[in-house]
Amino acid sequence: MEQMTPILSEIAGAFPNIEINIFRGPPHEIADKMKSGDLELAVSEPLGDEWERFDARKLYQEEFGLLVNRTHPLLQRNSVEIEDLVNERLLCRPYCSLTDMLELEFRKHGLTPPSKHEVPLVEDLASMVRANLGVGIWPKSREAGGDLRLAQIQGFDMNALISLYTVFGRKQSAAASTFVRLLRSKDWSAEGQPAIMAGESLH
């Protein structure tokens, strides 16, 4: 959402009477709302829906890591393998496709996915990691604080392609059309890039 706020601010300036209705939900619900016309556009991970009228334009790729406490034993290892996480508790956000992919990865290795806590707010996720309630799936572009570290799982890329979705042939409001132009014209090259976390070297 942080990436969208400057754009929404431009829209609010250009359309002073606009009322913005933001929906956050799982991809299939977003897809349904797009099809029914309840949503004019979406910025989302892949919707997983092959409807021919969806027009998807790639915006950027968000990279993630495993957020752990600085004192967590995982950091003592040279590399983190999927097997190392079996006894961990996962902290994940609702509708996060990476959680599903990670659980699938466990099953591929013949392992039972670890249990998890669902945490709606990303800020709360960092607090819960700090309180040793688990390890969290965390966007690398976001700073979490100097007492936390990001770990990578060997052989498992954690990233999500973020795209703009519109519907072919559907008339857009002037505000939605301007929003689309702002999104498409924006220089996204810096988005999804790692934020330097204190005391951490990034490679």
Partner 1 sequence: MDAPLSERLSTFADDVRRLSPPFADIVDRMLKRLYDSGAGDGAPNIGEPMPNFVLPDETGHLVSLEELLQKGQVVVSFNRGHWCPYCRLNADAMAHVEKKVKDAGGQFVLITPETAKFNKTLKQDARALFPILTDLDSGYALELQLAIQINDEKRIAMTAAGWDISKYQDNENWTLPIPATFVVGKDGRVKARFVDPDYRKRMQISDLIAAVES
SS3 content of the chain, % helix, strand, coil (to 5): 30, 20, 50
Task: Report the nearest approach of partner 1 to the CB of residue 177 (Å).
Answer: 9
Return the number of the residue (170 or 181) whose C-beta is nearest partner 1.
181
φ, ψ of residue 138 in degrees (nearest 5):
-135, 135
Does residue 189 belong to the site contacting partner 1 (CB under 8 A)?
A: yes
Q: Which of 116, 178, 191, 200 binds partner 1 (CB under 8 A)?
A: 178
CA distance 159 to 178: 28
CA distance 78 to 62: 24
Return the number of the residue (26 or 188) whose C-beta is nearest partner 1.
188
Does residue 186 belong to the site contacting partner 1 (CB under 8 A)?
A: yes
Task: Report the nearest approach of partner 1 to the CB of residue 8 (Å).
Answer: 12
Task: Report the nearest approach of partner 1 to the CB of residue 41 (Å).
Answer: 14
Measured torsion, CA atoms of residues 79, 84, 85, 88, in degrees rounded to the nearest 10: -120
Does residue 57 belong to the site contacting partner 1 (CB under 8 A)?
A: yes
Q: Helices marked H in the chain — which ranges? A: 5-14, 27-36, 97-108, 122-130, 174-185
Does residue 12 belong to the site contacting partner 1 (CB under 8 A)?
A: no
Residues that bind partner 1 (CB under 8 A): 6-7, 10, 13-14, 57, 178, 181-182, 184-187, 189
